[in-house]
Each structure stands twice: as structure tokens, then as C-alpha cells.
């Protein structure tokens, strides 16, 4: 009964605020059965009527309407202020999160650019000097050139890049160049030298060699001092 009474009072109050006609609420009690009903009109015959809510004047109804409108406006203003505060708080939170993310990104160490370092430039210059100073290919110069190239790889690629290059170099097949083997040159047999002409101071043989004379009938030969014997060189 109490819930139904409250529901009826709320409905009657709403009807009172929505109309300009004066209204009242009557409690009707049936004398025979004791049943209680509420109405904003007249109680039925044979029931006892008691006024629950007094009649309101037009001024009171207008005042209630104005108060309800003011309360509704205050509620809307409060809701707008809460929405604005929530939006501002969310924007500030997002800005703080972006600032923290930027600080965290700045704190992360950036990878070193080895190719732009001074060590890389110095190693490249050294490699150019070694390459330009090569006159011919031999083992010592090849070792110097390979050492300079490995230093460039280390300084310009960094430790990790250098390790990758070394692994790739180790996996490459080694090429060994074997010089061609020529057969030995067979020189034609030569006859022993033979004097062909002698002058006052020197003699010449058939191979174009010249020998100064050291005395009558003698000249220095390949095996010592020789003597002429009919234009021959027996020594």
C-alpha cells in the first residue's frame, strides 16, 4: 500500500506541475470494506474522504514550476561542467603520456653510425694510400692490402657488421692461382770458343768474346791463361 501511495502521489504531483488547474489529492476509505483509494476528484458515495494534499494556488504552482526549471538548469550546468572537467582531465592525461613517451624514447640510446665516424674516414684514407703504393702484386703487399681492408670493415661497419663480413669471408671458397709450369728450355749445345782474330793487343773468338793479350801467344780465357795454337783456344 505504501508503494502504491507513493506512486500515486508522484503521478499527481507531475500532473499538478503540468497543468494550470488547481488540484488536490483525496484519500477515500470504504466504510463497509475498509478499502482505501486515492483520487484527485470526488470520492464515491459511501466512502469517507480525507484531503491528503491541500489545494495549491496558481502562484504556488508557478513558483514550483520556476523552481523545477531552475533545478533543471542547475543540473544541466553541473553536467556540462563535469563533462568539460572530464575532457580537460583526459587532454592533460594524454599530454602527460605523450611527454613521458617522448622522454622514454629520448632516453633509449641511438645506434651508432660507424660509417660517419672519424675512425672510418681514417681507415679509408689508409686503405687508399696502401692501394696507391702497390707497384706489383706479391705476398707482402697483398697482406698489407688485406689488413687495411679489414680495418676499414671494422671501423666503418662496427663490431657486429665486421663479424658478419668475417663469417661471409670465411664461407667463401678459397681460390689458389697456380702459376703455369713451362717446360725447361733446352739450349742448343755450344762448341768451345775458338779464336778467330788476334791483333797486337787483344783477340776475339767465334762467339764474339774479346780477350786482351797478356804476352806473345797468350790471352786470358774462361779457365785461365790460354795459349794460341793455330787459332784454337784449348783451355
> Which cell numbers in the block locate residue 190?
755450344
Q: Are residues 31 and 76 in the same domain?
A: no
Q: Are residues 38 and 50 in the same domain?
A: yes
Q: Are residues 159 and 130 in the same domain?
A: yes
Q: Please indicate, yes or no, if residue 186 is contained in any of the structural domains.
A: no
Q: Are residues 135 and 156 in the same domain?
A: yes
Residue with cell 491541500: 54
Q: Please indicate, yes or no, if residue 183 is contained in any of the structural domains.
A: no
Is 201 within 8 Å of 212 (Cβ atoms)?
A: yes
Q: How many CB atoms lie within 10 A of CB 76?
A: 10
Residue with cell 495549491: 56
Q: Which domain holds residue 213?
A: 195-227
Is 188 within 8 Å of 180 (Cβ atoms)?
A: no
Q: How many CB atoms lie within 10 A of CB 226?
A: 20
Is 219 within 8 Å of 225 (Cβ atoms)?
A: yes
Q: Are residues 167 and 121 in the same domain?
A: yes
Q: Please indicate, yes or no, if residue 190 is contained in any of the structural domains.
A: no
Q: Are residues 65 and 44 in the same domain?
A: no
Question: What is the count of structural domains for the chain?
Answer: 4
Q: Are residues 30 and 12 in the same domain?
A: yes
Residue that terminates a domain, selected from 85, 104, 123: 104
DSSP class per residue in the chain: -HHHHHHHHHHHHHHHHT-SS---EEEEEETTT--EEEESS-PPTTEEEEEEE----HHHHHHHHHHHHHHHHHHHHHHHHHHHHHHHHHHHHHHHHHHHHHHHHHHSPPPP-GGGSHHHHHHHHHHHHHHHT--S--HHHHHHHHHHHHHHHHHHHHHHHHHHHHHHHHHSPP--PPPP-PPPP-PPP-PPPBEEEE-SSEEEETTS-EEE--BTTEEEETTEEEE-BTTB---
Please tell me the number of Cα atoms within 13 Å of 15 on its side-chain side: 14
Q: Are residues 49 and 79 in the same domain?
A: no
Q: What is the pLDDT along the chain (235 residues), one digit of tens a residue?
A: 444 444 445 544 444 444 434 456 788 888 888 888 888 778 887 777 777 766 678 888 888 889 999 999 999 999 999 999 999 999 999 999 999 888 887 777 777 888 889 999 999 999 888 888 776 667 778 888 889 999 999 999 988 888 988 888 888 776 666 666 767 777 777 666 677 777 667 777 777 777 776 655 555 555 444 555 554 444 4
Q: Please indicate, yes or no, if residue 126 is contained in any of the structural domains.
A: yes
DSSP class per residue in 97-161: HHHHHHHHHHHSPPPP-GGGSHHHHHHHHHHHHHHHT--S--HHHHHHHHHHHHHHHHHHHHHHH
Q: Please indicate, yes or no, if residue 167 is contained in any of the structural domains.
A: yes
> Which cell numbers in the block locate residue 213?
793479350
pLDDT of residue 226: 59
pLDDT of residue 106: 79
pLDDT of residue 81: 94
Is 15 within 8 Å of 65 (Cβ atoms)?
A: no
Q: Please indicate, yes or no, if residue 232 is contained in any of the structural domains.
A: no
Amino acid at each position: 500500500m505504501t508503494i502504491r501511495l507513493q506512486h500515486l502521489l508522484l503521478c499527481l504531483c507531475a500532473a499538478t506541475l503540468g497543468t494550470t488547474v488547481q488540484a488536490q489529492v483525496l484519500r477515500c476509505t470504504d466504510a463497509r470494506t475498509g478499502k482505501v483509494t486515492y483520487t484527485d476528484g470526488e470520492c464515491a458515495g459511501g466512502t469517507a474522504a480525507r484531503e491528503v494534499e491541500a489545494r495549491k494556488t496558481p502562484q504556488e504552482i508557478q513558483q514550483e514550476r520556476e523552481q523545477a526549471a531552475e533545478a533543471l538548469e542547475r543540473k544541466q550546468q553541473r553536467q556540462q561542467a563535469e563533462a568539460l572537467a572530464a575532457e580537460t582531465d583526459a587532454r592533460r592525461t594524454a599530454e602527460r603520456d605523450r611527454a613521458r613517451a617522448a622522454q622514454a624514447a629520448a632516453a633509449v640510446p641511438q645506434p651508432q653510425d660507424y660509417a660517419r665516424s672519424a675512425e672510418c674516414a681514417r681507415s679509408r684514407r689508409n686503405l687508399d694510400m696502401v692501394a696507391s703504393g702497390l707497384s706489383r702484386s706479391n705476398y707482402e703487399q697483398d697482406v698489407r692490402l688485406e689488413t687495411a681492408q679489414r680495418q676499414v670493415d671494422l671501423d666503418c661497419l662496427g663490431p657486429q657488421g665486421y663479424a658478419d663480413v668475417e663469417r661471409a669471408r670465411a664461407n667463401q671458397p678459397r681460390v689458389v692461382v697456380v702459376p703455369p709450369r713451362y717446360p725447361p728450355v733446352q739450349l742448343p749445345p755450344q762448341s768451345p770458343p775458338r779464336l778467330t782474330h788476334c791483333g797486337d793487343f787483344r783477340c776475339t773468338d767465334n762467339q764474339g768474346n774479346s780477350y786482351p793479350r797478356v804476352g806473345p801467344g797468350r790471352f786470358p780465357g774462361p779457365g785461365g791463361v790460354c795459349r794460341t795454337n793455330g787459332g784454337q783456344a784449348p783451355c
